[in-house]
Structure 1
Amino acid sequence: MPFMEFLFDLPSSEMSILAGAALLAGLVRGFAGFGTALIYLPFAGAVLSPVAAITTLVLMDIVGPVPMLPRAARHVDKGDLVRLLGGAAIALPLGLSALFLLDPQHFRYLVSGISLIMLAGLVLGWRYAGVLPPAAVAATGSASGFLGGVAGIPGPPVIFVYMASPKPAPVIRANITFYLFGYDWMVLAMMGVAGRLDPGFFVTGLVLILPNMLGTVLGAALFVPGYERAYRLAAYGLILGAALTGLPFWNLRD
């Protein structure tokens, strides 16, 4: 058995798909501030089980955003961040319980479907207008936690709310970055308690940190203030391509 297959319990071709998806996901997150799951999961769901796909995503994503954190920390709205994470902690176990029962084919449809719906919302300008009271911020975190648990995509509720927020752009970007970082740690802890952290895919996720972090660093280096629209369009195109590729009509294992 080749070394790569022995170490990761995956054929080298499938490991290459995951590494490429991790690099691309990091790149998009580096210049757009979001999109890791939307890029990575459609590819990962095509070659891994739902639990393994989310496990590798969470593990690689824990370290990938670290280069962005020092700059973002100066702009975080701590009150909103605590409420978002508190709401997510309540609903995340329910989402994970649903994930553990989900068929792999249905998972692929769910991930690609959510990605396409979110992309449509971003392009069409779906937004929540107005200032959210504290309870509504916590509810947004709960919706994000459930969606993240069942499909590994916690971003849509938080992003749609914050994109129309009156808060300054650096604050929005910082809160989304730190929220997703905290969410990853919660998922990892809850999966560990549930006994769902497979050692082989745990190692795979850790190895994917390298291409994901490289992509994040490159994406952050490419980001130039004043060209946000161009970065958004690039991110939208990559998310669309990943979502369509992740549909069960395609067999990436061949």
Structure 2
Amino acid sequence: MPDVLSEALALPGLGWMLLTVIVAGLVRGFSGFGSAMIIMPVASTVFSPVGAIIFLTTVELFGPLPNLRSALHNGTRPDVARLALGAVFAMPLGVFALAHMSPQIFSWAVSVVVLGLLVVLMLGWRYHGSLTPPMVLGTGALGGFLSGSIGVAGPPVIMLYMASTLPISAIRANFLLYLLMIDGLMLGLFWVLGLFQLEPAIAGLVLTVPYMMANRMGAALFNPQSERVFRAVAYSIIAASALLGLPVWS
């Protein structure tokens, strides 16, 4: 274990990962989502595709815990349960795709999904109908597949809820609860399938404390009355992630 810890701390680019994790924690604490779209482009330059997802899920599993109590109070638990149920069924298919994916295809897939989300949201698409159980279940399944294959579970759920008329406090809470369950499911599935890697997990644990502190700071900045600011921050996060994650920069 000491040797693995030393190797994890000696990883090239760990300093950049620390800065990235702090920014991602601020964003996650404020908006309830967005950290994967910030961390994954950087993590994919340090780790293998599987290692990058393990690093992300390890960091994210503990970081949002300080905000869990308020999320349970503000979220719509039946919707979160349906999202998680859909993810349980579809996530193994995503992990199977990940295991057969080259790093180049992995990088392009992350960028294309994030960029597609940006375009749809910036075009102003909004869903004004009710969020039916089958719609929420299907959205969770798509998010689970994307989580297993490219480590970005948020886009389908973000598209559904950011385009809905739900209160911002409920949207933010649903994001946090759904992504927390996704992270737990992912680590468990990787362990069962024999894909778990210790080095990125330890690196993730090392950076959990600054991520958790940044989460608390981001949550303190959140104002449920500032919907315009919330949406502007969310769209800016997606835009920056889409541009910085393009493989043409490497």
- Say yes or no: TM over 0.5: yes
Report whether the alignment pairs 1:211 with 2:243. Answer: no
Shift of residue 6 of structure 1? 6.4
| CA offset digits 1:197-248 (Å, max 9, x no partner) | 1111111111121222122112112223433323432343343333322222
Shift of residue 5 of structure 1? 9.1
What residue ranges of structure 1 are gaps of 5+ in the alignment?
A: none
Map 1:1-254; keep pairs closer than 5 Å. 7-9=6-8, 11-251=10-250
When residues 165 and 103 of structure 1 are mapped into structure 2, their CA distance, relative to the original with a 3 A threshold, is same
Inter-partner Cα distance in structure 2 for 1:10 and 1:115:
30
Shift of residue 54 of structure 1? 0.4
Residue correspondences, number: 249
**Match of 1:241, as an amino acid?**
A
What residue ranges of structure 2 are gaps of 5+ in the alignment?
A: none
Inter-partner Cα distance in structure 2 for 1:95 and 1:42:
18
Inter-partner Cα distance in structure 1 for 2:109 and 2:244:
13
When residues 185 and 5 of structure 1 are mapped into structure 2, their CA distance, relative to the original with a 3 A threshold, is closer
Inter-partner Cα distance in structure 2 for 1:5 and 1:203:
8
Shift of residue 182 of structure 1? 0.7
What SS does the aligned partner of 1:74 have? helix
Inter-partner Cα distance in structure 1 for 2:10 and 2:117:
32
Query: What RMSD, in angstroms, separates the aligned Cα atoms of the two structures?
Result: 2.1
What SS does the aligned partner of 1:126 have? coil
Inter-partner Cα distance in structure 1 for 2:231 and 2:157:
17
When residues 130 and 247 of structure 1 are mapped into structure 2, their CA distance, relative to the original with a 3 A threshold, is same
**Match of 2:180, as an amino acid?**
F
**Match of 1:127, as an amino acid?**
R
Retained in 2: the 8 A contact 1:37–1:152? Answer: yes
